[in-house]
Amino acid sequence: MNITVIGSGAMGCLFGGLLAEAGANVYLLDIWKEHVKSLNELGVSITSNGQQRYIPVQATIDPAEISSTDLALVFVKHAQTSKAAATAAGLIGRHGAILTLQNGMGNAEILATAVGEGQVICGTTAQGAMLLGPGKIQHSGTGKTSIGMWEGATHPLLGDVATMFNDAAIDTTITTEIKPVLWRKLFANVGINAITALTGIRNGELVDLAETENLVRLVVKEALEVAKAYQIPVEPDALEHVFTIARATATNRSSMGQDIDAGRLTEIDAINGYIVRLARAHGIKTPINQTLCALIKTLESHQQ
């Protein structure tokens, strides 16, 4: 299968690298020239459990260099999804598919406006990765990946994508009900990302102090109330699952933490901001999510 990864940061490199290692024909697309140069010259460097390996990949900053793509795997940040949608639509034509495993809500809707309804596959992953430098990442957490159609009938590539991911040791299942799965991941991002970004800690450190753990509980409980108001099916262990993810990715700095550390804009609007907007429309109060949004936005506006 010909795969183009659009947005080849930590997660894009992890998936692209593992898929290339398993035999897929992978092109990594990114705007960071030094990173792309290193990927072409050395391959993607993945450090996992203290072991480093290089996996040969092709990389480019120019989508025009990529000829045929069956699957566009979108890993850009939420704010770049519209641009990625246009690029993906140009690459996959009428028969390919887009898969988004991005954090936050609203990405599948944006992608679906650029292609046909049945061409968007979406899902979540509990894999974690950190960018160490140009061409180099650390694989900092493993866990399940779930994928399913956003809307419309099953795409012919859906099964092939799951098989290919599993062949690449990315433990993947297909689900017919993807929306509750997206919400389950949203709860984790609501509880983990902003707090780790603001405090500088790693995911596993969220449980070191009772006060921090309690803050995670409070912010996720607000999101659970919003989900209930919108009649989203929620598993009974949804809150505890947030801590399971934090522990499974203990050494990881959350993606929002990495964004703040690197002086980039974050995905706060698609995570805690999404909860605040939905809550407001239903007259629900979410003061903790609101506070975390305000603090992250304050940080964003003061970084160069």
**Taking CB under 6 A as the criterion, which residues in 184-213 touch ligand PAF?**
188-189, 192-193, 203
Interface residue with ligand PAF among 38, 107, 252, 286 (CB under 6 A) is: 252
- Contacts of 145 by beta carbon, 8 Å cutoff, 6+ apart: 101, 123, 124, 125, 126, 127, 165, 170, 171, 172, 173
When the beta carbons of 14 and 92 are compared against ligand PAF, the nearer one is: 14
Residue from the set 245, 260, 270, 292 that interacts with ligand PAF by CB under 6 A: 245
Q: Answer yes or no: 228 catalytic.
A: no
Q: Does 255 bind ligand PAF (CB under 6 A)?
A: yes
Query: Binding-site residue total for ligand PAF (CB under 6 A)?
Result: 13
18 burial type by CB count under 10 A (0-12 exposed, 13-18 middle, 19+ buried): buried
Amino acid at 148: G
- Which CB, 201 or 229, lies closer to ligand PAF? 201
State both tokens at 1: 């299968």
Sequence-distant (6+) residues with CB within 8 A of 111 are 74, 81, 84, 85, 88, 98, 100, 120, 122, 150
Q: Does 266 bind ligand PAF (CB under 6 A)?
A: no
Supply angle C-alpha 175, 141, 2, rounded to 5.
55
**If you write DSSP's letter for every residue of 13-59 in order, what string do you get?**
HHHHHHHHHTT-EEEEE-S-HHHHHHHHHH-EEEEETTEEEEE--EE
Catalytic residue among 37, 185, 228, 297: 185
CA-based nearest residue to 293, from 219, 238, 182: 219
Q: Which is nearer to ligand PAF, 87 or 203 (CB)?
A: 203
Q: How far is the CB of 244 from ligand PAF (least distance, A)?
A: 10
Which segment (24-32, 54-62, 65-73, 250-258) binds ligand PAF by CB under 6 A? 250-258
Q: Per-residue contact track with ligand PAF, 124 to 163, x per CB under 6 A?
A: --x-x-----------------------------------
> By the criterion CB under 6 A, which residues form the site for ligand PAF?
103, 126, 128, 188-189, 192-193, 203, 245, 249, 252, 254-255
Q: Could you give the residue numbers annotated as active site?
A: 185
